[in-house]
Structure 1
Amino acid sequence: MDKRKNRFFNTTGPCNPEDHFMLPPEERLVGTQLHRYIGDKLYWVLHAPRQTGKTTFLLSWMREINSGSEAISCYVSVERCQGLSEPEKAMPALRNAIIKHADGYDLPIPQSGTDDPSSMLNETLVNWAKLVAPKPLIILFDEVDVLTGDALISFLRQLRDGFADRGVGKFPVSIALVGMRDLKDYITAAKGGVPVNPGSPFNIKADSGSLSNFQKDDIGRLFAQRTAETGQQITPEALDYVYDQSRGQPWLVNSLFMRATMRILDADSTETVTVEHLREAREQIIQARETHLDALAYRLENPKIRSVMETLITGEPDPLMAQGEAFRLCLDLGLVALEKGGPVVANPIYREVIAREITFGAQMAIPAPEWKWQKSDGTLDMDALLREFQAFWQNNSEVWEQKIDYPEAFPHLLLMAFLQRVANGHGRIEREYAAGRGRMDLAVEYNGAWNIIEIKLLRQGRSFETVMAEGIKQTLGYRESFSSGHTSQAREPSVPCYLLIFDRRPDKPVWSERLKWINTEAVTVLGC
């Protein structure tokens, strides 16, 4: 029986080709030279966001090395050291992790002749190198980013102490340190924010590599494995949708495919996968808040990450943002990407999760709508909805603004929460936001009909008329670009467009002058 007939798209733990549809992760390595690390006896770092294939790669490379006769390799997860910042606790835990993995992979089990945490790791690795001689030893340390403080410094110093004598029977000839961020960032954190200097305890690395996301062709190659084994097809438009929504993030790609083929459709189905199946899969992923996305939501509690997200949501230009440690953190964690030279949230699914997470409290506090906000055909009466929002903004904004963690993005967040309160169950909101654009774009679909909403802020030194003229042009430009992958109705020039301008000037006028409703030829303009 062909074991591959039962393969599936994996979203939990490392992938293996016997059980899962997968592409060789080494194809996505960037900035690495695998062919040199063993022969030239080099130490190196691999960093990439969560669930991009780091562990899958390490286990695959370990198997490849051990299938030959030239070297011995062992994968070692450092995860059991999480929360142990003192070397006295972390080093024994690390030694036990090494013993556990050596035993699990049928390799010689090393010993340490000392209880001194400052040399325990070094002596364990020396002993291990002797046990596997005459073959060189290669260690692949995973989850290194769980080490913090003095434990991290001790770990790196003991590796550096053995580096000069590395060789067969002496010390591992090559070591990979793998985690979500480049090691220099963790060293800086461990030293209280002091930048890394030439005296760094790990100035011996040859490379800092990473894993890229899937390219569009990779996504097609991945699903083609299922087609070859089951006969199930997927439309070209569906493949484009997966790439557009995930931007190739491996976990998201696999999760969309898994839900479409095993939840939306039956696992044994040969029905062609379409965009509609994947739209439903996307909504399920967001609603389920699986571990991957739950971890993303947790990251938003970090003030540094919140500051970056606020700049992206408002679209306000910030020339200093990309220079800060907070921005680099968001890049390393895969929350932010560079698109057309500017920073954006990494993909539309993350964008939706972030928006829902940070508006959830406000959404729950907004009363259930009691006014008539549907037309007789079941579509949204957006005029009625936005008039009600203006009243809600007047009555609540000044009090609610004092309670939110994102004061600059408060208008955007409150409007999104208000719209989500109505759209839940019958519609969806698509959001575009990126730093430097000076706006946020929303597209609201409800019972098959679309409305486009643009949000702009009126700052000190600018006039309402100037911002309105700029915003109308941007709104119509967004409507024009909002065609790919949407219904024909969304591409029609008649789709209703709204521009909301929030007055954020310190000396803003009284409410009777701020609240405006202006009907232009193509765009309805609201002052708030």
Structure 2
Amino acid sequence: MKTFNTAGPSIPGDHYMLDPLARIDLTEIEALIDAKRYFVLHAPRQTGKTTALLALMHHLNAQGRYRALYCNIEAAQAARGNVHEGMAAIVNALASAASVYWRDEAAAQVARARLHEAGATDWVRATLEAWSRHSPRPIVLFLDEVDALVGDTLISLLRQIRAGYAQRPEAFPQTVVLSGVRDVRDYRIHSGGEIITGGSAFNIKAVSLRLSNFSRAECEALWQQHEAETGQRFDAAIYPELWADTEGQPWLVNALGHELT
């Protein structure tokens, strides 16, 4: 039986959920990818970013024009400003993502081989170049939780992506999407006593897109999925109060649905 999801990305078949691709401007995003643009998708926590990115990855791969990959790099946060440890965590996350979503152990090994080379500040760029050179289709990369990174680790990642930008798509991903709570322009990166803004470290960004809350109609449609599944009714008279309590914040909408049922 499906449930209202209050933890992690929503999974079709397990959770009541709205179509993630209907919550984003799919036409705009596909146009940005076709134009080889790099961009940002940001929103507050528990809004549905990861669910949307995973759905977008599967959508693009099903189309067959691109080779899309989702990768969560939050593990690199623990490295703080230690670039060597931070880049190792990111490369390992890329390798794991290639293994899980692409079922491509060769690509995973290519990534992990970087860790035996000198120069941690080039490991991510070199991995993405090698992947792109041998990929049957242009790569579209979704990097999630980017703003969890700290200091020089974040600076190094942004600059490695910027360094490969001119080589796209033959020797670097056609599109890289950075996702997190904040827009990259709002990053304030402390390094060596100075503050570097994320926008200056990633000035190849074309646009910033924000994932919005549910509309009132979308809230009611989600709650009504439970009614259709189980026969347990939501009295329509309670919808105005539920909307006032949540204003469409996705986690709150699901949490109240869970508590009520």
Asked whether the two chains share a fold, i.e. TM above 0.5, the reply is yes
- Residues 50-69 of structure 1 aligned to structure 2 (within 5 Å): 50-69=45-64
For 1:128 and 1:190, how far apart are their aligned partners in 2?
31
- Residues 18-417 of structure 1 aligned to structure 2 (within 5 Å): 18-29=13-24, 33-84=28-79, 85-105=81-101, 106-107=103-104, 108-109=107-108, 110-111=110-111, 112-113=113-114, 114-133=117-136, 135-168=137-170, 170-186=171-187, 188-190=188-190, 194=195, 196=197, 200-261=200-261
TM-score normalized with structure 2 length: 0.90
Query: Which structure carries more relative contact order (alpha carbon 8 Å, separation 6+)?
Result: 2
Shift of 1:146: 1.3
Shift of 1:83: 2.5
* Counterpart amino acid of residue 248 in structure 1: G
Alignment partner, residue 4 of structure 2: 9
CA contact (8 A) 2:186 2:198 kept: no
CA radius of gyration, larger in: 1
For 2:29 and 2:230, how far apart are their aligned partners in 1?
35
For 1:53 and 1:34, how far apart are their aligned partners in 2?
16
Shift of 1:195: 6.6
CA distances 1:140-162 after superposition (whole Å, capped 9, x unpaired): 00011111111111000000000
CA contact (8 A) 2:190 2:196 kept: no
* Counterpart amino acid of residue 240 in structure 1: P
- Residues 473-484 of structure 1 aligned to structure 2 (within 5 Å): none
* Counterpart amino acid of residue 132 in structure 1: S
For 1:248 and 1:193, how far apart are their aligned partners in 2?
39
CA distances 1:271-311 after superposition (whole Å, capped 9, x unpaired): xxxxxxxxxxxxxxxxxxxxxxxxxxxxxxxxxxxxxxxxx
* Greater share of residues in helix: 2
C-alpha change, 1:15 and 1:34, in structure 2 (3 Å) is same
CA contact (8 A) 1:83 1:146 kept: no
* Counterpart amino acid of residue 82 in structure 1: Q
For 1:156 and 1:31, how far apart are their aligned partners in 2?
25
Alignment partner, residue 428 of structure 1: none
CA RMSD of aligned residues (A): 2.0
Listed as ranges, the gaps of 5+ residues in structure 1 are 1-5, 262-528
For 2:205 and 2:40, how far apart are their aligned partners in 1?
7
* Counterpart amino acid of residue 61 in structure 2: N
CA distances 1:404-446 after superposition (whole Å, capped 9, x unpaired): xxxxxxxxxxxxxxxxxxxxxxxxxxxxxxxxxxxxxxxxxxx
C-alpha change, 1:190 and 1:44, in structure 2 (3 Å) is farther
* Counterpart amino acid of residue 228 in structure 1: A
Identical columns (%): 39
C-alpha change, 1:166 and 1:229, in structure 2 (3 Å) is same
CA contact (8 A) 2:185 2:198 kept: no
What count of residue pairs does the alignment treat as equivalent? 252
For 1:183 and 1:190, how far apart are their aligned partners in 2?
14
Shift of 1:117: 1.1
CA distances 1:174-221 after superposition (whole Å, capped 9, x unpaired): 0110000111222x23356747498x1200011111111111111111
Q: Provide the secondary structure at the position in 1 that maps to 2:63.
A: coil
Q: Provide the secondary structure at the position in 2 that maps to 1:82.
A: helix
